[in-house]
Structure 1
Amino acid sequence: MSTYSIKDLEQLSGIKAHTLRIWEQRYNLLSPKRTETNIRYYDDNDLKLILNVALLNDNGYKISKIAKMAMDEMREEVVKLTERSLTHDDQIHALTICMIEMDEERFDKVLSTNILKIGFDQTMMNIIYPFMSKIGVLWQTGAINPAQEHFISNLVRQKLIVAIDGQVSKSNGKKFILFLPEGELHEISILFAAFLIKNQGHKVIYLGQNTPSDDLLAVYKLHRPEYIVTVITTSPSAEYVQEYIEALSERFSDTKIIVSGYQIVGQDLKLPNNVFAMHYIRQLKDYLREIELAPQEK
């Protein structure tokens, strides 16, 4: 079972730590535990409770009424709300609860409902990305265990693969090679990029995680794509990113290279002329709209 500080609860629920302390005292809403050194902490049950409370409170339920609800009653109300609500924050709360409970069926239902209502790409950009960004911070600080993070990532990955398979490339679409550098395993962003690219009718040659440089070169020589796309989250590390980008640029000098990821965004990098840094996923959508679908000469 994971443990959380009150700041963790604040970040996940959106309820200020000061408010949580007031609710503790006034309504006995939470029962924090203490370490041997007398430091307060909370567990998964506390997090689930606060996420439910936050969702109900945001939708007009008074805290005095919420505090009197049994957990089953509270959960039933939350399920009803998330099934009819279109608020992105409500859906992110619901997914966070699914993650804590490792509830695959409920997670799939929340995702599928949103995809039907607002479409796959809007669900990814407005719900999944903010949700994964939120839990990513807590995973890095140890507040969420690796099993929970892997559980969510694999479910999202499955959805992306199905969505990609449903897209059809056009005969005059441009060619894109998508890959992750050696040692890089964070695949969600590059998979979503593959979906967006295919959704615009372009052709995707997907190499995936941990691609050796020689393999990338071999595929490049075979397909001669107009574009190469990569996302650098952890590998190569910050001290080697500039060198890596320059090597890519030189090796594939006649191709446009799109780069993104934690080691790219906001970093003080000098990008070669054929390299474009993508700071937000929406930039890729805009970039793709600007590409004219012309007959290929290759």
Structure 2
Amino acid sequence: MIKSKFSIKDLENLSGIKAHTIRIWEKRYGLLTPDRTDTNIRTYDLEALQKILNISYLRNAGIKISAIAELSSEDIEIQVRNFAERNNKNDHAIQELKLAMVNFDQQMFQRIYQSSLDEFGFSGVFYNLFVPFLEELGYLWQSKTINLAHEHFISHLIKQKVLINLEKLQYQKPHNQEQVYILFLPENEMHDLGLLFLNYELLKKGCNTIYLGASMMLESLPFFKNKEAKPTFITYITVQPTEKQLPSFLKQFDKKVSNGDDVELWVLGHLAQKIKDKDLKPNQLVFRGISDVIGKIPDLVIKA
């Protein structure tokens, strides 16, 4: 079911404007006119959500709230479009993605995606639009502003775009067949968007990759050590293993996969940043993001 009523906390979480500030603006400027429940609790409709997202965008662009308050809803939308054309389109596109998600609107998602793709190319869309949006998505889900259906809906649409672009590259012959990158997610880890995009970036740069996907058991990985190409294993940790389980995961990889050989493990993802230096073996590296991984591979660095 499409979410059509929002609390003031929902508006805060989606727009980044504090609830007490929204209340002040309602009283001082009449910017929003909420409905009230029988217990006098504010509720807002989709139109109010869109308006507060637009106001947030203009505020971030440096427009004073007193000036915004003098504009009609239609004029606010015009100002947002004008600023987006001249300045940071990404911020506006992220706000629109939120609306597409809340409305389960596939056509709106496609319009936003295509507009960004035409300007930035797919890598630009992922880094500049999808990555910051997905970072906000996690918070919106944790704060219960959206539910699991919203997260699955928008994540599936983004994943579709990654797969479409990935297919264009995955059958090309790699430039270097002496090195292979084995991409996998740990057991019980299912969040594969980041790893899929990393596979896309590696293939685009001519790397030899093998993508194994979600929930791989470590016992299956030593197989790749006995091939002609030297393997580097890359994993992306979002949920599993948990922070407490990370030292054990690294120790198990060293025991079951490396087993005394000089085999590297590269680790990315939100939980990867929780790894302590003392728990890392010399052949285990933590990266802050995908661009750092690309920079680690000398023959992939694009020269100006």
Letter in 1 for 2:192: E
Given the two structures, how large is their TM-score scaled by the length of structure 1? Answer: 0.83
How many corresponding residue pairs?
288
Aligned counterparts of 1:199 and 1:132: Cα–Cα separation in 2: 23
Aligned counterparts of 1:124 and 1:164: Cα–Cα separation in 2: 13
2:196 aligns to what?
Answer: 191
Query: Relative to 1, partners in 2 of residues 1:164 and 1:204: Cα closer, same or farther, differing over 3 Å?
Result: same
- Equivalent residues of 2:247, 2:275 under 8 A apart: no
Q: Summarize deviations over 1:89-144 as a string: whole Å, max 9, x none.
A: 11211211111121112212211221221222222112111111112111122111
2:251 aligns to what SS in structure 1?
A: helix
Letter in 2 for 1:180: L
Report 1:158-173 matches (<5 A): 158-167=160-169, 168-173=172-177
How well do the aligned residues superpose, as a CA RMSD in angstroms?
A: 3.0
Alignment match of 2:34 (pick from 31, 39, 63): 31
1:9 aligns to what?
Answer: 11
Given the two structures, how large is their TM-score scaled by the length of structure 2? Answer: 0.81
Shift of 1:259: 0.5
Q: Which runs of 5+ in 1 are unaligned?
A: 293-298
- Equivalent residues of 2:238, 2:270 under 8 A apart: yes
Letter in 1 for 2:68: I
Letter in 1 for 2:53: L
Q: After alignment, is 92-101 or 80-89 more displaced?
A: 80-89
Shift of 1:207: 0.7
Q: After alignment, is 85-94 or 220-229 more displaced?
A: 220-229
2:232 aligns to what?
Answer: 227
Q: After alignment, is 53-62 or 251-260 more displaced?
A: 53-62
Indicate whether 1:125 and 2:124 are aligned. Answer: no
Aligned counterparts of 2:229 and 2:4: Cα–Cα separation in 1: 48
1:277 aligns to what?
Answer: 286
Report 1:1-298 matches (<5 A): 1=3, 4-25=6-27, 26-31=29-34, 33-34=36-37, 40=42, 42=44, 44-55=46-57, 62-66=67-71, 68-69=72-73, 86-167=88-169, 168-173=172-177, 174-221=179-226, 225-250=230-255, 251-252=257-258, 253-269=261-277, 270-289=279-298
Q: Summarize deviations over 1:30-69 as a string: whole Å, max 9, x none.
A: 4054585x65454555423322343456566942344x33
- Equivalent residues of 1:169, 1:198 under 8 A apart: no
Identity percentage of aligned residues: 30
Query: Relative to 1, partners in 2 of residues 1:237 and 1:57: Cα closer, same or farther, differing over 3 Å?
Result: closer
